[in-house]
Amino acid sequence: MKQKDTEKQNRLLPLYSDIVFKIFCIKKPNLLAKLLDAVLGFKGRNRIESLQILNPEIPGNTRNDKLSILDIHAVNKRNEHFGVEMQGFPQDYFGKRVLYYWAKLYSQQIKKGATYVQLQPVYSVSFLNFNLLQIDNFHSTFQLLEKENPEIALTKDLEIHIIELPKFLKQKLKQAN
């Protein structure tokens, strides 16, 4: 009996598998909302009340534009957009890719004749099953900040979060010992 349980566990795909992560998020949007609240530090009235899962394909404006496909594209009641990715394998260009996806989600919000005031924040959250950055922190946040005065943000509409799972697990194991 014990051997069968072990064999069954070995056949299960890990949560960091794209397909497993997508299914989990689509079937459990309330848990995705809680996960995003935790990553983004949303508390109280800023918490995500509900999420609508949207088509993850971000079409280009012309036939020649690159089609982008997120793992999860969601929007909340405040019309804030969330691009969520689970990346299992290292990519040297990951930083460029995440910024490109963010830019497409941001730019598709308004159409001809609309005002820039209508633009809402886009939060990019990427869970990586590899280490990308040469720092100890498992959670890194990127924003548009003034170089000499980093307390001054150009806008709060851009926020990119990178969660490096190997560093997270290493930290949790240290805390457990």
Owning domain of residue 37: 2-176
* Predicted confidence (pLDDT) at residue 76 exceeds the cutoff of 70: yes
pLDDT for residue 110: 92
Cα end-to-end span (Å), the chain? 31
Tokens of 134: 């040469």
Which pLDDT band, with edges at 50, 70 and 90, does 2 fall under?
low
pLDDT for residue 175: 87
What's the total number of domains in the chain? 1
pTM of the model: 0.88
pLDDT for residue 8: 59
For residue 28, report the phi and psi dihedrals to the nearest 5 degrees: -130, 60
Within 13 Å of residue 48, how many CA atoms lie on the same side as its CB? 24
Q: pLDDT > 70: what percent of the chain? A: 94
* Predicted confidence (pLDDT) at residue 6 exceeds the cutoff of 60: no
Residue 31 makes CB contacts below 8 A (sequence gap 6+) with 24, 25
Give the closest residue to 48 by CA, choosing from 75, 24, 28: 75
pLDDT for residue 3: 62
Rounded to the nearest integer, the mean pLDDT of the chain is: 91
